[in-house]
């Protein structure tokens, strides 16, 4: 790992020998993204013929591809705080022009406010219907959602019908279940008898 740190600190020292070291590190630690990135950088520095092929293969392993891009293509533009301002062409706007532009903007804002106020005063008020004029349908849509489909009849559904004291529907459900599951026929017949006792009480 000391060699890896050395290569990280000085990427210009990457050569044929470092390529072998980095290849071994990537074999030993295949999930080590930094090693893969340095391996690609090494291939690029020595102009290895397999660089493009390896770039396509290895870039999939790297989560931070923008870092890989910046490592392989370092920016030559560096920040230089000592730039001379006289070298740059800075266009100065006279103060009188600045204030005239500001006045134009403020006039546009005032015009928009006048337009809104004129609309409010000139247009008749909008009439909103009171609640008693709005037609409301009082259809009960819940009846349609409770319609029993024989495919969906289960023992739990039949038990719920018993708890709701809908004994006739529960008996019907258990009869359908006994036809659907003949191996539980005796059990369902017993449940039907229990329900009939509840119904008679």
Residue range 68-90: mean pLDDT, rounded: 66
Number of other CB atoms surrounding residue 153 within 10 Å: 19
Measured CA to CA, the distance from residue 48 to residue 54 in angstroms comes to 10
Measured CA to CA, the distance from residue 53 to residue 19 in angstroms comes to 16
SS (H, E, C) 71-121: HHCCCCCCCCCCCCHHHCCCCCCCHHHHHHHHHHHHHHHHHHHHHHHHHHH
pLDDT at position 105: 66
Residue range 98-117: mean pLDDT, rounded: 70
- Residue pLDDT, tens place only, 159-180: 999 999 899 999 999 999 999 9
Q: Which of 8, 3, 40 is nearest to 21 (CA)?
A: 3
pLDDT at position 160: 93
Domain spans of the chain, in order of start: 2-72, 151-200
pLDDT at position 78: 52
Residue 134's pLDDT band (cuts 50, 70, 90)? low
Put simply, whether the predicted model's pTM sits higher than 0.75 gets the answer no
Q: Torsion angle, CA of 90/95/99/104, rounded to 10 degrees?
A: -50
Residue 53's pLDDT band (cuts 50, 70, 90)? very high
How many Å is the maximal CA-CA distance in the chain?
A: 106
Residue range 96-113: mean pLDDT, rounded: 67
What average pLDDT does the chain have? 79
b/e sequence 155-187, b meaning 16+ C-beta within 10 Å: eeebeebbeeeebebbbbbbebbbeeeeeeeee
Structure tokens at 129: 């219907």
pLDDT of 185 > 80? The answer is yes
pLDDT at position 80: 54
pLDDT of 142 > 60? The answer is no
């Amino acid at each position: 790992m000391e060699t890896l740190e050395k290569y990280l600190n000085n990427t210009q020292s990457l050569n044929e020998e470092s390529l072998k070291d980095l290849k071994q590190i990537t074999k030993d630690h295949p999930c080590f993204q930094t090693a893969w990135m340095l391996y690609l950088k090494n291939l690029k520095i020595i102009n290895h013929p397999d660089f493009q092929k390896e770039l396509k293969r290895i870039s999939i392993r790297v989560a931070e591809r923008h870092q890989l891009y910046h490592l392989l293509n370092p920016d030559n533009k560096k920040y230089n705080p000592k730039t001379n301002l006289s070298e740059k062409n800075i266009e100065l706007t006279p103060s009188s022009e600045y204030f005239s532009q500001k006045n134009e903007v403020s006039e546009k804002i005032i015009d928009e406010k006048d337009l809104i106020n004129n609309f409010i005063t000139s247009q008749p008020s909008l009439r909103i219907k009171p609640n008693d004029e709005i037609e409301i349908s009082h259809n009960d849509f819940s009846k349609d959602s409770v319609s029993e489909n024989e495919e969906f009849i289960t023992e739990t559904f039949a038990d719920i019908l018993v708890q709701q004291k809908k004994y006739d529907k529960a008996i019907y459900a258990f009869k359908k279940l006994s036809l659907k599951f003949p191996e539980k026929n005796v059990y369902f017949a017993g449940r039907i008898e229990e329900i009939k006792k509840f119904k008679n009480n």
